[in-house]
Structure 1
Amino acid sequence: MPEEEKQLAAVVGRAIAKRRIASHLTQERVAERLGIGVEAMSRIERGLALPTVVRLGELADIFDCDIADLLTETSSRATDQASQLARLLSKLSGPDRTMVLGIVETLTERLEQGRP
């Protein structure tokens, strides 16, 4: 597996594991619903196997999320991270979103000042 594909498999695997845990499901239960073995499920979560698009769709259905969430949730790309922040903020009330935005702005300013 090429290095770029390995990195993608690792990112997707972490997102799948995170969603599974948040859904209070075991690897065994997810594997059963997918019709695969537990070892195959473990390999996906560990980033040793990259799921097909069809399998990503099945996982998204199980976790009640979009396929894109499984591809971008743990991405290090700024645009993917911005989308993740937008999803998180959308769950909050207006005043809470404003508070979080203020915290992020303050933190960003401090981190920028600390750069050489």
Structure 2
Amino acid sequence: MSSFQVEEAMAAIGRAIAKHRVRCGISQLELGRQLGVKDEAMSRLERGVVTLTVDRLVQLADIFECNVADLLTQGSHRTTDQARYVSQLLGKLGTDDRTMVVEFVERLAARLAHR
């Protein structure tokens, strides 16, 4: 993995952390307190400037009540990771809403493939 790819992955993980934090209604300050880090460190973490340890990822997953894999794959550019994430999102919807989303994605993908 090139240094650019590592930086890109860390930024994606940071965005996933920020998304989970907001979803849980936790401020950066509060999350920092729970992790035992200062405000600036929390900001750097969400910007992907800091390389996370496995221990820190586990702590975050516990706080957000999600899997560590969720934090690692939500920002991934790998097709299989993206498909897994979309599947999780669809799993939260009812049958009619899932059908509508799938039809929308089919139309959008067809349109974008012709560009």
TM-score, length-normalised on structure 2?
0.91
What displacement does 1:72 show?
Answer: 1.0
Q: Which moved more, 1:69-78 or 1:2-11?
A: 2-11
Runs of 4+ in 1 over 4 A off after TM superposition: none
Q: Tell me the residue number matched to 2:41.
A: 40
Structure 1 CA distance, aligned partners of 2:70 and 2:52?
14
Tell me the equivalent position of 2:78.
77
**Structure 2 residue identity aligned to 1:14:** R
Report deviation, 1:5. Answer: 2.1
Q: CA RMSD in A?
A: 1.5
Amino acid at match of 1:35: G
Structure 2: give runs of 5+ residues left out of the alignment.
none
Structure-1 residue corresponding to 2:92: 91
Q: For 2:57 and 2:100, locate their aligned partners in 1 and report how far apart those are by CA, in whole Å.
A: 35
**What residue identity is the alignment partner of 2:72?**
L
Give deviations 1:85-110, integer Å, cap 9, x for gaps.
Answer: 10010001112211211111111112
Rounded to whole Å, the distance in 2 between the matches of 1:78 and 1:5 is 17
Partner of 1:20: 21
* CA distances 1:13-52 after superposition (whole Å, capped 9, x unpaired): 1111111111111111111111122221111111110110
The residue aligned with 2:50 is: 49
Q: What is the CA–CA distance in structure 1 between the aligned matches of 2:44 and 2:25, rounded to whole Å?
A: 19
Alignment partner, residue 66 of structure 2 = 65
TM-score computed with the length of structure 1 as normaliser:
0.90
Q: Deviations over 1:62-94 (max 9, x none)?
A: 111111111111222211111111001000111
Identity of aligned residues (%): 49
